[in-house]
Amino acid sequence: MAGWWRRNAWGLVLLVPAMGAVAVGPYLQTYDSFLRNQERTAVESGAEHWVAYHGARMRLVELSEEKSVPKYDGSPVPVPQGMRVVKAVLEFDGVPEELEGCQIYLQDTTGERYGEGPTELSTLDGVSLPHGGCGMDDDTGDPLASAKPTPRPSGAHAHWKTVCYFVMPLSAYPSAVRISLATELPRYALLK
């Protein structure tokens, strides 16, 4: 047995770095892929607070704390105690179909993120939250309008607004809205 150790000593010593070399390649590839799929690079506003992102322009028009949310009939429903409800009005200029699948988050002053359309609000009796998201709603939003808007051809340029609701703890304060698309990562739009 001592002869076997003597004959294979160098092979055993080189086995450790060889195994490390085999494992490092896939590890680095996985780590690089992980980093590419994380929001790391903020695209911030330029002139007039517009952010150019994924071939469209977008901006935050309003960020306000709400004490009530709308019902289906338009009447207000008070917000439950112990939560901060924030409404964001976003404005877009571009091709709505190119922004499908976007993720919208409210960011607080510490960098924590909160998703839009929270279940805490949508489960309240009779509450009707707006569509939200980055897409263009087919409805005019005006219950008194007698006709639907003229259909827009798919892929055509448009200008629209959308409303999103968020819930955060009372200890948090809103600072910005983040918009991301999987095809644009690691870049994301930061609307302030």
**CATH classification at residue 143:** 2.60.40
Let me know whether 20 and 59 are in one domain: no
User: Does residue 47 share a domain with residue 23?
Assistant: no
User: Do residues 51 and 22 share a domain?
Assistant: no
Both 65 and 150 in one domain: the answer is: yes
Domain containing 53 equals: 43-191
Nearest alpha-carbon partner for 103 in 12, 4, 5, 180: 180
How far is the C-alpha of 21 from the C-alpha of 15, rounded, in Å?
10
pLDDT of residue 32: 61
Residue 89: its pLDDT value, please?
A: 95
Query: Which strands, in side-by-side order, build the sheet including 187-191?
Result: 41-43, 187-191, 174-180, 103-108, 113-115
Only one residue has tokens 């977008």, namely 58
> What length is written for the chain?
192
**What does the alpha-carbon distance between residue 183 and residue 58 come to, in Å, rounded to a whole number?**
17
pLDDT tens for the chain, residues 1 to 192: 778 877 887 877 777 777 777 776 776 666 566 556 678 889 998 778 899 999 999 999 999 999 999 888 888 999 989 999 999 999 999 999 999 999 999 999 999 999 998 988 888 888 888 878 898 875 544 444 344 445 678 888 999 999 999 999 999 999 999 999 999 999 999 999
Q: Give the pLDDT score at 147.
A: 43
Q: Are residues 98 and 163 located together in one domain of the fold?
A: yes
Q: Let me know whether 32 and 115 are in one domain.
A: no
CA–CA dist 101, 104 (Å, integer): 10
Q: What is the Cα–Cα distance from 28 to 22, expressed in whole angstroms?
A: 11
Q: How many domains does the chain have?
A: 2
How far is the C-alpha of 18 from the C-alpha of 95, rounded, in Å? 52
Same domain, 107 and 21: no
Regarding whether 104 and 26 lie in a shared domain, the answer is no
16 and 55 assigned to the same domain: no
Same domain, 30 and 90: no
Q: Which residue has the tokens 């571009």?
A: 94
- In a shared domain, residues 103 and 150: yes
